[in-house]
Amino acid sequence: MLRRRLVTLMTLTALALTLTGGVVAQHAQARSSGAATGGGKGVADPPLCDIDLYKCEKEHQGPGSPSNPKPGGSGGSGGKAQPCASSATGTKVPCTSQWGSWSNDRQCYLRADPPPSKPVPSGKTGRWYLCHRLDADPAAGGTELDIWLDEPPSVDPGGLALDILAELQLQKIRIGITPEQGKTGLLGLPTYLWVDNAGPRTLGPITDSDTQGNVTVTLTAKVDHVTWTLGDGTTITCTGAGTPYQDSFGAAPSPTCGHIYRKPSTELDGGSYPVSATSVWRVGWTGGGDAGSIPFEITSTGRVRISEAQALN
């Protein structure tokens, strides 16, 4: 029995973390904290990403553009997954579902009719298939009709890989940073940066497989690096989860991922630096005699307050 299900399309808005106040988001509210010269905690789990839209916060510029390689492209002899779409609604649909594999040509999900309801046409080789359409009676889940195919419908391994990625539900990282919520970091002291919710769905590696017809696709996803933009013109790239700050570290810099602010944030809007962390994933798949990769990245945002030390009289 097919285990694919339709993935509900939804719009995911940016998660706004603030380390100097509460967390603001349109669809989720989370706790925020970090670490200063004390243990940092990061923030509560951000909402799941809608992988069916192939984006979290970043808008794609268009298929095949340099900053947005076509999903499923690069690697393998083909490796280019063509989007499965309904011409009636003009929207993307999952390439596989409980009704079978989507056919862009026939605009329906196709699956073999287990007990054929009609006789085999004279002189024909092939079989009857159920064609499940979405553009008729959608309130009832669509309608089905019998069609004859001389050959089995082909399964696009790249499309199946996209469906596997959709069901993995990769998540945004939860930012860990010094100073912690409600505190102000001192100018010139190290700022630690780390992933506060490291796991298979935030950093990988994670692997899953699925079979459609006679095609089995295996997909593996892992974060290659995290790009931190720190609001003062500095961008750094870190591999791994980083090192959570501990009191015993004192004023020592982070051994894996950190920064030192050279100017206070007091004169900026809100009195704090905007911080973002973008996890850049390597997503590769193999199956059906082909292979490919799916470009994917997720961004989390926050703010950090930095001030100069005040001399005591």
Q: Is 119 helix (H, G, I), strand (E, B) or coil?
A: coil
Per-residue model confidence as pLDDT tens digits over 192-249: 999 999 999 999 999 999 988 778 999 999 999 999 999 999 999 999 999 999 999 9
C-alpha span between 262 and 191 (Å, rounded): 11
Give the distance from CA 32 to its chain's centroid: 22
- pLDDT digit string (tens) for the chain, length 313 residues: 333 333 322 222 222 233 333 222 222 222 222 333 333 444 333 444 554 444 343 322 233 332 333 333 333 333 445 678 888 878 888 887 888 888 888 888 888 887 766 787 887 878 888 888 887 665 556 688 888 888 877 788 888 898 888 888 899 999 999 987 667 888 989 999 999 999 999 999 999 999 887 789 999 999 999 999 999 999 999 999 999 999 999 999 999 999 999 999 988 988 999 999 999 999 999 998 889 999 899 999 999 999 987 644 4
Residue of 27, 159, 140, 41 whose CA lies nearest to 93: 159
Are the C-beta atoms of residues 239 and 183 closer than 8 Å to each other? no
First-to-final CA distance of the chain = 77
C-alpha span between 225 and 242 (Å, rounded): 11
Helical segments of the chain, H only: 157-168
Six token digits for residue 101: 């594999």
pTM for the model: 0.64
**Other C-beta atoms within 10 Å of 35: how many?**
27
Q: Is 58 helix (H, G, I), strand (E, B) or coil?
A: coil
Per-residue model confidence as pLDDT tens digits over 72-86: 333 333 344 567 888
C-alpha span between 20 and 15 (Å, rounded): 15
Six token digits for residue 34: 């970090």
Q: Is 215 helix (H, G, I), strand (E, B) or coil?
A: strand
Contacts of 41 (CB under 8 A, 6+ apart): 31, 33, 34, 35, 176, 180, 196
pLDDT at 12: 25
